[in-house]
């Protein structure tokens, strides 16, 4: 096989340029030793110009803004108190994730997992039944909205927060795989990938995916390397950062698009909506679109799209993702169409608690699982289930079904719960592989059962899949390994300042110091818990109030709606402004 070309292709004006085997030799400003010289130890410094802009993304130049309420708090929730914060530059999808994009995802899952793990495809299916309302005839949307080509470029709905995150991870891997194919390192052959033997960015970077190589790799300059070539590394700057959901602050900042109202360091006009002015109609007097509604929302009682002959917003439900003019960042539908998931966990007092730099609530710190010799543990070659979650689902299903269960149903439930208890015991003993083997036996029991409830149980258990074959093994960080840290100690920081022991009225009693949420009695006095995720923006069922970017709402991360979609974001590394920016500020 040939080695990769010495200099990777320049991919775009703002693309990354990485030079491998024939880098010019430059010297370290700290030691004077030369870089990229095999005779000098092989220290490497690749030439790097700029982060490549990933497919579908636009650069959102960061800055400071007043986050929160800009109009009356009509719901009296007092959960979006105005506060000045700073958001770093980042990338964001110009449109919502569409039905076509989601069908691409489902198709890929079918190619890779369809034969061995069909439950993984089940987990990724949007809930098309979210269209049903007791007093509406919406069955056509149940049948056609996701699959029919007429809706291909409409935003996907019925997707919960967990599914949205899974999609972001999948998209990261497909984009980075294509970059390696484009640069002549991997062969384009998606049919060759199946089950655990498929490309993920983490597996590739940790040497646990080889694939079909188009070249031996990148020239290895280290004189002690066991091979003349190596895989691409993070240090080369070729692979993109992860696609992810935006934080609440990022989403709100991008939606306002105040870059269009700035002059030097002055914001000349405040905004209530993602456009100037206080009108939801286009107020460009004499313009082509004068008087038209600027976004897809409900204008008044029973008016979802206007009058026949002049359908003002031309959308009774969602609309095409490019249907309305973009804001000043080039982002479409940041005011209406569908509301959108963001990363944050909801708390009503988040504006008071969160930092004023890159504010976010929801950090759960993890690290890769290591072997005893310090090497990274092998990736999963099986499906990983949330054992407690599966037990909860089956137990609740049994309670609700009650006397309707026949003998075959009860036998299946009893056998499943017995194996789950055994799996929990193995998990306590830290025998993770054994515990998950038992959980796979539960799924096999359900799949092979003749019980009438087997399809329900299969779909419900699939919702509690945490990892799939091919994923790297991760674990939460521990207090023990962070003994000398001051910035954080434990993994889960969701409750920090609002739900943890120190913020509760039991802080003086050490016996109450547990991991349980103390501030909110979920299901009794509130629906707030650590699974309550923020969603932002108005949607096709909303009135104009919710098109204001500062409004906040929340929903359990496992629930979905016909009015809720999402778009992806990506971290911007390096310069916040891009090529051609001033360097003297």
CA 432 to chain centre: 26
Task: Count Cβ neighbours within 10 Å for each residue of 485-511 and write b for 16 or more, e otherwise.
Answer: eeeebbbebbbbbbbbbeebeeeeeee
User: What is the average per-residue pLDDT within 505-519?
Assistant: 61
Dig out the tokens for 338 from the structure: 């569908």
Question: If you average pLDDT over every residue of the chain, what do you get?
Answer: 89
Same domain, 501 and 461: no
Q: 3-state DSSP call for residue 430?
A: coil
User: What is the average per-residue pLDDT within 356-364?
Assistant: 96
Same domain, 512 and 431: no
pLDDT score for 282: 77
pLDDT in tens, 561-571: 999 999 999 99
pLDDT score for 189: 85
Residue 12 covered by a domain: no
Same domain, 505 and 419: no
pLDDT score for 85: 96
255 within 8 A of 226, measured Cβ to Cβ: no
3-state SS string for 247-298: CHHHHHHHHHCHHHHEECCEECCCCCCCCCCCCCECCCCCCCCCCCECCCCC
Residue 371 covered by a domain: no
Same domain, 462 and 501: no
Per DSSP, what are the bridge partners of residue 570? 91, 243
User: What is the average per-residue pLDDT within 208-218?
Assistant: 88
Same domain, 109 and 203: yes
Residue 133 covered by a domain: yes
- Is the confidence at residue 41, as pLDDT, over 90? no
User: What is the average per-residue pLDDT within 101-126?
Assistant: 95
Same domain, 440 and 521: no
Same domain, 234 and 109: yes
Same domain, 430 and 512: no
Residue 60 covered by a domain: no
Whether the pTM exceeds 0.85: the reply is yes
- Is the confidence at residue 17, as pLDDT, over 50? no
User: What is the average per-residue pLDDT within 27-56?
Assistant: 88
pLDDT score for 577: 84
Q: Which of 103, 99, 117, 104 is CA-nearest to residue 465?
A: 117
Same domain, 114 and 198: yes
What DSSP line would sit under 365-410, residue for residue?
-EEE-B-TTSPBPPPPSS-EE-HHHHHHHHHHHHHHHGGG--HHHH
Q: What is the CA radius of gyration of the chain?
A: 26
pLDDT in tens, 150-200: 999 999 999 999 999 999 999 999 999 999 999 999 998 878 888 999 999
User: What is the average per-residue pLDDT within 422-447?
Assistant: 95
Least confident of 222-226, 463-467, 490-494: 222-226
User: What is the average per-residue pLDDT within 501-520?
Assistant: 65
User: What is the average per-residue pLDDT within 405-418?
Assistant: 96
Residue 140 covered by a domain: yes
User: What is the average per-residue pLDDT within 235-261?
Assistant: 95
Residue 67 covered by a domain: no
Other beta carbons less than 10 A from residue 308's beta carbon:
6
Same domain, 181 and 238: yes
Same domain, 404 and 514: no
Residue 62 covered by a domain: no
Q: What residue numbers bound the domain in which 449 lies?
A: 384-467
- Is the confidence at residue 224, as pLDDT, over 90? no
Which band of pLDDT confidence, cut at 50, 70 and 90, is reported for residue 8?
A: very low
Which band of pLDDT confidence, cut at 50, 70 and 90, is reported for residue 583?
A: very low
Same domain, 151 and 237: yes
pLDDT score for 287: 63
Residue 151 covered by a domain: yes
User: What is the average per-residue pLDDT within 371-376?
Assistant: 94
Domain count, the chain: 3
pLDDT in tens, 436-451: 999 999 999 999 999 9
pLDDT score for 518: 63
- Is the confidence at residue 266, as pLDDT, over 60? yes
- Is the confidence at residue 25, as pLDDT, over 90? no
- Is the confidence at residue 78, as pLDDT, over 80? yes
Domain end position, chosen among 199, 219, 243: 243
């Amino acid at each position: 096989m040939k080695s990769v070309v010495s200099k990777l292709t320049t991919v775009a004006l703002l693309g990354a340029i990485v030079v491998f085997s024939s880098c010019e030799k430059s010297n370290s400003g700290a030691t004077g030793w030369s870089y990229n010289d095999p005779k000098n130890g092989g220290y490497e410094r690749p030439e790097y110009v700029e982060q490549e802009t990933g497919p579908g993304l636009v650069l959102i130049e960061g800055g400071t803004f007043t986050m929160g309420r800009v109009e009356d708090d009509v719901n009296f929730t007092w959960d979006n108190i105005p506060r000045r914060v700073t958001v770093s530059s980042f990338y964001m999808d110009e449109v919502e994730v569409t039905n076509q994009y989601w069908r691409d995802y489902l198709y890929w899952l079918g190619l890779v997992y369809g034969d061995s793990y069909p439950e993984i495809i089940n987990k990724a299916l949007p809930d098309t039944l979210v269209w049903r309302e007791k007093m509406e005839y919406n069955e056509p949307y149940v049948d056609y909205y996701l699959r029919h080509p007429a809706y291909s470029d409409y935003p996907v709905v019925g997707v919960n927060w967990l599914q949205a995150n899974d999609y972001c991870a999948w998209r990261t891997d497909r984009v980075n795989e294509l970059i390696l194919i484009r640069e002549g390192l991997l062969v384009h052959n998606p049919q060759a990938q199946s089950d655990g033997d498929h490309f993920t960015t983490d597996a590739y970077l940790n040497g646990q995916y080889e694939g079909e190589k188009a070249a031996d790799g990148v020239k290895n300059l280290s004189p002690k390397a066991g091979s003349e070539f190596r895989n691409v590394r993070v240090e080369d700057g070729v692979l993109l950062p992860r696609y992810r959901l935006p934080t609440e602050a990022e989403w709100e900042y991008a939606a306002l698009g105040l870059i269009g109202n700035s002059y030097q360091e002055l914001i000349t006009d405040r905004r209530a909506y993602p456009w100037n002015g206080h009108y939801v109609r286009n107020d460009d007097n004499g313009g082509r679109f004068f008087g038209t509604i600027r976004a897809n929302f409900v204008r008044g009682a029973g008016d979802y799209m206007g009058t026949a002959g002049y359908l003002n917003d031309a959308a009774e439900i969602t609309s095409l993702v490019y249907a309305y003019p973009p804001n000043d960042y080039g982002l479409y539908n940041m005011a209406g169409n569908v509301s959108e998931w963001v990363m944050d966990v909801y708390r009503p007092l988040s504006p008071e608690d969160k930092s004023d730099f890159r504010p976010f609530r929801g950090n759960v710190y993890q690290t890769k699982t290591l072997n005893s010799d310090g090497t990274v543990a092998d990736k999963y070659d099986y499906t990983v289930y949330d054992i407690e979650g599966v037990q909860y689902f089956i137990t609740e299903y049994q309670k609700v079904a009650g006397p309707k269960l026949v003998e075959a149903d009860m036998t299946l439930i009893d056998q499943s719960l017995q194996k789950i208890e055994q799996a929990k015991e193995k998990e306590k003993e830290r025998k993770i592989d054994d515990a998950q083997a038992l959980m796979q036996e539960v799924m096999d029991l359900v799949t092979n059962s003749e019980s009438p409830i087997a399809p329900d149980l299969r779909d419900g258990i699939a919702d509690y899949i945490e990892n799939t074959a091919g994923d790297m093994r991760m674990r939460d960080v521990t207090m023990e390994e962070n003994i000398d840290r001051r910035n954080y100690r434990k993994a889960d920081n969701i409750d920090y300042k609002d739900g943890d022991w120190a913020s509760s009225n039991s802080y003086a009693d050490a016996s109450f110091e547990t991991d349980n949420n103390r501030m909110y009695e979920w299901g009794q006095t509130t629906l707030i818990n650590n699974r309550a995720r923020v969603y932002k923006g108005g949607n096709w069922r909303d009135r104009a109030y919710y098109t204001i970017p500062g409004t906040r709402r929340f929903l359990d991360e496992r629930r979905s709606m016909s009015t809720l979609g999402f778009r992806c974001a990506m971290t911007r590394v390096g310069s916040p402004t891009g090529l051609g920016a001033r360097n003297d500020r």
